[in-house]
Chains A and B, each alone.
Chain A
Amino acid sequence: MACLGAAAILGPLGWHAYASRLPSAYAVTDMGYEDHGGHDMAMPTAGTRSVTTLIADPDRPADVRVTLTARKEKDRYTLNGQTPGPAIHATVGQLVQVRLVNENVPDGITLHWHGVDVPNAEDGVAGVTQDAVGAGREHTYRFVADQAGTFWYHSHQISAEQVRQGLLGALVVATAAPVAGVTDVVALTHNYDGTATVNGRPGETHVDAPPARRFRLRVVNTDNGEVSVRVAGAPFRLIAIDGTDVSGPALVANVSVPVTAGGRADLDVTTPADGSAVRVSLSGAASLVLGPAGAPAPPPARPATRLDPLTYGSNRPLGFDPARPDRQFRYDIGRRPGFLDGRPGLFWTVNGHLYPDVPMFMVTEGDVVRMRIANHSGESHPMHLHGHHAVVLSRNGVPATGSPWWVDSLEVADGDTYDIAFVADNPGLWMDHCHNLPHAAEGLVAHLMYEGVTTPFSVGGTAGNEPE
């Protein structure tokens, strides 16, 4: 009787643990189940193509050439000897060519161009679009910077660890005609071992500027949690989100600007004419002070309200009709106890299933896609879709009325539901995951997949690919 009781408890647990083991190598296209988003079946496709064929024009010479050499130094990762890595600057339309050299990172590395809708082969996801670049090897990325804005790059191999420990940098794509009289400043935030930094420096960073100097402040949040940007000493405008300009941005003050983990926000702020300084508080105690040398900096602002992009700016046509979608998906985020690769724990679920039993959102090129992201997992999740920008249609049923709110990283708070839409215009296999990177490692990952696209790469395997 006792044995029976014990077996009744241990049997199912053991079976679940056993069944959750992952194979040593698997293609993401064999993982989980296909979700055709309302289509009854797979669309017939004219043959298949490999992600490796989805590249930029191979005959076009590069306009911007950069070599980044990655090194592991104790528990840090550096690029060309520094972390954050050097900011890469390009002008819209230029072809960017980055040679990534792995000097000594034993687990291998990649670079993902966060927010840039690159051709799929250049997306830098180990095990999906390439093999991790092992120590002593190199890999070249080529893509056209086709959108002016603020972006960043980071490793997508063992990303939870490699990004936290510094394998990242900013990517700035300037407009063809520079705006006269505006000083461009990158403010990349990253937390190194408990210390919040801006451009690698903790605490207060002074940026020398005369009175009435106008800035475009490019905030990049490379951390796993949202950053609240607060401006003291001057009003400002939020002029871009995730690399897309905001239409009709109003002048605001005493509001904080939430920047999603992995997201970007560009602020237009001018130093006051009276010679005082402006303080822009970023993550933790890190802040930028803009103003004349020696000018007293105001204390950090403590706004009680947050700027809400759902209503900020002026409305404008989207350029496509999300009311007639070809595909409709839901991305429900939950959490429950279970086993992942034989390990017990509380894990995230996608549409009720634990990793690797997650949906493959299947699309064909040209589809208008709608997705409803609902979070009832107890924690907020910064959801990041690779290779595409999606527009927010509504939050909790309240329609977006401000400037079109284009995102590649969207903070979905616990209890919130977002309706987003995008045009499937970039064929490939694209991750759609939580950018709180440890959450992705805990299974909060799905993929957007174009019918007929295949990958020769696998997660695990001899290259040791481990994208999360």
Chain B
Amino acid sequence: MKLVYRILAWAVAVEVAVQAAAIVGALFGLTTWVTEDGGVLDKAERESHSTPYPEAIGFPIHALNGEILIPLIALALLIVSFFARIPGGLKWAAVVFGLVILQVLLGVYGHHVPGVAALHGPNALLLFVTAIATARRARASSAAEPAHA
């Protein structure tokens, strides 16, 4: 269970990196499409959910990962923490889960409040670091414990 706990915590960190890559790729691709390929972005285009340039696939990846997959991983981490018997494991899993929920709220409802929307970035960094710390703490706790027979 400790191993599962660590894998899930690492998975959250990796997913945050994937999220950053997907959204930055999509936004840079958008800039190139507009400035070099004569693309015009409007609401009809945005809502067509199509990929006029390849990197646009990053938008749906970011939405699906962020709204469904990462919350599910964080939830699984929280549940596994009940069984993993890591000192403070539940607390840190709960912190990761809380930061994920905050991140989703900032992403979905923060669009129209510029200051609030911008927190989506720093909170991602905070989540990334916290998820790694959570995984490393779990490893330290398993190393300190004698191996089971």
By a beta-carbon cutoff of 8 Å, the part of chain A in contact with chain B is 1-3, 5-6, 9-10, 164, 189, 191, 193-196, 221, 223-228, 261, 283-285, 335, 337, 344-346, 378-380, 414-415, 436, 438
Contact = CB atoms under 8 A, between A and B. Distances in A.
Contacts of A221: 44
20 contacts: A2-B83, A10-B79, A189-B44, A191-B50, A193-B51, A194-B50, A196-B44, A224-B48, A225-B45, A225-B47, A227-B42, A227-B43, A284-B41, A285-B40, A344-B72, A346-B108, A378-B111, A378-B112, A414-B111, A438-B49
Enumerate the 7 nearest inter-chain pairs by beta-carbon distance, A residue then B residue, closest first.
Answer: A225-B47, A194-B52, A225-B43, A194-B50, A2-B82, A223-B44, A224-B47
Given A194-B45, A224-B44, A337-B71, 8 more contacts: A1-B82, A9-B75, A194-B51, A223-B48, A225-B43, A226-B42, A378-B108, A438-B49
A416 to B, nearest CB: 12
A191 B45 contact: yes
A211 to B, nearest CB: 28
B8 interface: no
B22 interface: no
B38 A285 contact: yes
Contact of A9 (B38, B49, B78): B78
Nearest to A281: B40
Given A194-B51, A378-B109, A226 B43 contact: yes
Contacts of A3: 82
A345 B70 CA distance: 12
A224 B56 CA distance: 17
A285 B109 CA distance: 30
Nearest to B85: A2
Contacts of B50: 191, 193-194
A221 B44 CA distance: 9
Nearest to B101: A337
B46 interface: yes
B42 A228 contact: yes
Given A194-B56, A285-B38, A225 B79 contact: no
Contact of B45 (A284, A344, A415): A284
B79 A283 contact: no
A466 to B, nearest CB: 18
A195 B38 CA distance: 11
Contacts of A285: 38-40
B118 interface: no
Interface string B14-49: 000000000000000000000000111111111111
A283 B45 contact: yes
A227 B38 CA distance: 18
A225 B46 contact: yes
Interface string B44-68: 1111111111001000000000011
A193 B41 CA distance: 14
Contacts of B47: 223-225, 261, 436
Contacts of B67: 345-346
Interface in B92-149: 104, 108-109, 111-112
Nearest to B110: A378
A422 to B, nearest CB: 26
A338 to B, nearest CB: 12
A283 B44 CA distance: 7
Contacts of A436: 47
Contacts of B44: 189, 191, 196, 221, 223-227, 261, 283-284
B68 A284 contact: no
Nearest to A160: B49
A1 to B, nearest CB: 8
A377 to B, nearest CB: 9
A24 to B, nearest CB: 25
A415 B112 contact: yes
B47 to A, nearest CB: 3
Contacts of A189: 44
A285 B82 CA distance: 55
Contacts of A195: 52
Given A194-B50, A195-B52, A9 B43 contact: no
Contacts of A438: 49
Contacts of B43: 225-228, 380
A227 to B, nearest CB: 5
B111 to A, nearest CB: 6
A262 to B, nearest CB: 11
Contacts of B68: 344-345
Nearest to A346: B67
A2 B83 CA distance: 6
A194 B57 CA distance: 11
Q: Considering residues A10, A193, A195, A346, which has the most beta carbons from chain B within 10 angstroms of its beta carbon?
A: A346
Nearest to A223: B44
A414 B112 CA distance: 9
A16 B67 CA distance: 18
Contacts of B45: 191, 194, 196, 225, 283-284
A45 to B, nearest CB: 40
Contact of B42 (A5, A194, A225, A415): A225
A190 to B, nearest CB: 9
Contacts of B72: 344
Contacts of B41: 284
Nearest to A376: B109
A223 B45 CA distance: 8
A346 B104 CA distance: 10
